[in-house]
Structure 1
């Protein structure tokens, strides 16, 4: 029997419990439910439970306040989160601890609010609260993803200076990902060696990061060496591992190796994801193999893989590159059948394909359609120009 895991189910059970004669308020249950609501981005309901918890006479300690603060910060309600933090500092039994600050720091980092993070770290120091490994790893990871290498390295140095805060495999992975994703392969390798000499052992995520970094910089020999190492020491490949190597060989135009890895993946009963299919379609489009793309679509028809708008845009791009304009237009119908609406990237890709092939009238007609539909019932979302059109994260 499969038990539903939605918040609604848990609250139904909780309400039934509260109706029983033997029911006594339990702070731990309330806190767990508040955390759950926070993860589901329902801060208002989390606050209602927080109030109910207080009304029923539960002890309102720092764990309860931290749970509500987490719910606010996860939903971007930073004014309420910071206000609650101040309230905690003024309440004797609810003083914030390193976990409270770490949760708020993580939420601020996710929206690149680095000034607020610096203020929080300063506030922690003034109260004698030292960051722990989780805090440091969160900072290192965020600084690395933002390409703020100086801040990342300073944080790592500060972490190493502390006697009660040891770096771990998460620290290593965040550091090597930062350098690897920015093409600084030599620095990445030096960091990897230093972490290993410090006794930190890599995990599957470490190797996925190395594979992805080598693949994206065209270091296929080193990528193959990592693959051999993983095989030698019996590291089981995950869907992420396969996605990384399939994408790398596909971008390199090595369709034979890409297809071999895809067959191996399926033979090991690892279900392809939308990312896998995007990599195949992109590679076949670059190689002009329209019949191979048809094969990918047959695989989709015979599976329950969940598609997304990125896959359809990838498909449009592949057909457009090959000049298969009937098939490219057919993707729009396919999207309609699957319940997806074209976005600006879809149309921009089609316009580009028409323009490159000299079909200026088609390009102009489609451009006029997009401009007239802007903000209308087509409901096309504004694209995020900070990211590549077909960006995928493998880490």
Structure 2
């Protein structure tokens, strides 16, 4: 838990407490948790050193497949792909083979970094390995990587290839493809996926409708944006803050900000909790249009709903004030932002990781 909260210092302290208590000898799971606590905070040297400690520990604490899958995942998230060959060599030395999770972690890491050639090589290694076959996670990582880069032809090719391998798509697969078509300004293909899902008895999720609503909103096609929002509710799919944020962006782009209050009123009759990103959209829309008074009202409403403003919201409002020559208001908000940041960050502890 400390690792997930990016608190490697307290995690280290807790680990040392375990070492001092003879009856609480750390297990392989405890060591692996410490590897993750360091790795997910970008402290990869410490994570690698912890794996080194495991090798010298008791037999019950030797690093296993899960340990190395965590370590590789951390390397990918920190974009330290240069460390992956070292990790794989270490696994080979210990007689630990790559399982499908490790292969998928490497493929997904390269894909998210836009390193498509390296991603293809990692997939080839997986196929040549022979012990592991691609699964739905492999498929979704590959088509996401190509779709996100606008290479829809390659995305479609790999979609067909994976089906030939016996990998069947899921709802997330279709959502990935729809989003890629939307980004590529190919709404007809995006809607053809929705029809295909219906024929194959896949139920559209909130994410599915959010993608469609966002696509038509960005294109300024308010009529279709509203149609699919209504269809979403008719089919019993519950809108979420992302849905309402997409609607706000669509209305803002079309110059229809008078529709935004109605959206906010709609949420009051639901159990949807409006979040900071939603108010970010609303405040940004009013700031761009120069509606300073309503922008301020939205900040007040945000605070009333116990939703804390973030740095983006403060920066947006300060820029709007300065653009309208309201320097005094900008300075007051800068002061509030500084207080917010100081409260959020607090004192920075100095931790000895050795």
Alignment of 1:309-328 (within 5 A): 309-328=276-295
Answering whether residue 68 of structure 2 is matched by residue 101 of structure 1, we say: yes
Answering whether residue 87 of structure 2 is matched by residue 125 of structure 1, we say: no
Answering whether residue 6 of structure 2 is matched by residue 43 of structure 1, we say: no
Answering whether residue 31 of structure 2 is matched by residue 69 of structure 1, we say: no
TM-score normalised by structure 1 residue count: 0.77
Answering whether residue 312 of structure 2 is matched by residue 345 of structure 1, we say: yes
Answering whether residue 268 of structure 2 is matched by residue 301 of structure 1, we say: yes
Match of 1:274 among 241, 245, 248: 241
For 1:197, the equivalent position in structure 2 comes to: 164
Deviations 1:204-242 (A, max 9, x none): 110000010001111001001101100111101112112
For 2:51, the equivalent position in structure 1 comes to: 85
Give the deviation of 1:326 after TM superposition.
Answer: 2.1
Quote the Cα distance in structure 2 between the aligned partners of 1:51 and 1:272: 49
Give the deviation of 1:145 after TM superposition.
Answer: 1.0
Quote the Cα distance in structure 1 between the aligned partners of 2:100 and 2:273: 36
Q: List gaps (5 residues or longer) in structure 1.
A: 1-35, 383-395
Give the deviation of 1:186 after TM superposition.
Answer: 1.2
Q: List gaps (5 residues or longer) in structure 2.
A: 345-354
For 1:377, the equivalent position in structure 2 comes to: 339
Give the deviation of 1:351 after TM superposition.
Answer: 5.5
Q: Is the 8 A contact 1:285 1:318 kept in 2?
A: yes
For 2:155, the equivalent position in structure 1 comes to: 188
Of the structure 1 ranges 337-346 and 151-160, higher mean CA displacement relative to structure 2 is found in 337-346
Quote the Cα distance in structure 2 between the aligned partners of 1:331 and 1:381: 23
Match of 2:119 among 129, 136, 152: 152
Give the deviation of 1:136 after TM superposition.
Answer: 1.1
Match of 1:361 among 315, 318, 325: 325
Tell me the number of residue pairs that the alignment of Structure 1 and Structure 2 aligns.
Answer: 340
Distance verdict in 2 for CA 1:379–1:66, change over 3 Å: closer
Give the deviation of 1:111 after TM superposition.
Answer: 2.2
For 1:206, the equivalent position in structure 2 comes to: 173
Q: Is the 8 A contact 2:18 2:24 kept in 1?
A: no
Quote the Cα distance in structure 2 between the aligned partners of 1:39 and 1:268: 36
Q: Is the 8 A contact 1:320 1:353 kept in 2?
A: yes
For 2:350, the equivalent position in structure 1 comes to: none
Q: Is the 8 A contact 1:70 1:103 kept in 2?
A: yes
Give the deviation of 1:367 after TM superposition.
Answer: 4.9
For 2:258, the equivalent position in structure 1 comes to: 291
Quote the Cα distance in structure 1 between the aligned partners of 2:281 and 2:27: 51
Of the structure 1 ranges 226-235 and 264-273, higher mean CA displacement relative to structure 2 is found in 264-273
Instruction: For residue 270 of structure 1, give the secondary structure of its aligned residue in structure 2.
Output: coil
Q: Is the 8 A contact 2:321 2:330 kept in 1?
A: no
Quote the Cα distance in structure 2 between the aligned partners of 1:111 and 1:366: 39
Quote the Cα distance in structure 1 between the aligned partners of 2:201 and 2:184: 26
Give the deviation of 1:64 after TM superposition.
Answer: 4.8
Q: Is the 8 A contact 2:314 2:337 kept in 1?
A: no
Q: Is the 8 A contact 1:374 1:380 kept in 2?
A: no
Quote the Cα distance in structure 2 between the aligned partners of 1:145 and 1:185: 16
Q: Is the 8 A contact 1:43 1:71 kept in 2?
A: yes
Distance verdict in 2 for CA 1:218–1:72, change over 3 Å: same
Distance verdict in 2 for CA 1:83–1:315, change over 3 Å: same
For 1:239, the equivalent position in structure 2 comes to: 206
Quote the Cα distance in structure 1 between the aligned partners of 2:320 and 2:36: 46
Quote the Cα distance in structure 1 between the aligned partners of 2:336 and 2:293: 25
Quote the Cα distance in structure 2 between the aligned partners of 1:381 and 1:349: 20
Quote the Cα distance in structure 2 between the aligned partners of 1:349 and 1:217: 28
For 2:347, the equivalent position in structure 1 comes to: none
Deviations 1:168-213 (A, max 9, x none): 1111100110111111111111111111122111111100000100
Alignment of 1:15-54 (within 5 A): 38-39=3-4, 43-44=11-12, 47=15, 50-51=18-19
Instruction: For residue 84 of structure 2, give the secondary structure of its aligned residue in structure 1.
Output: helix
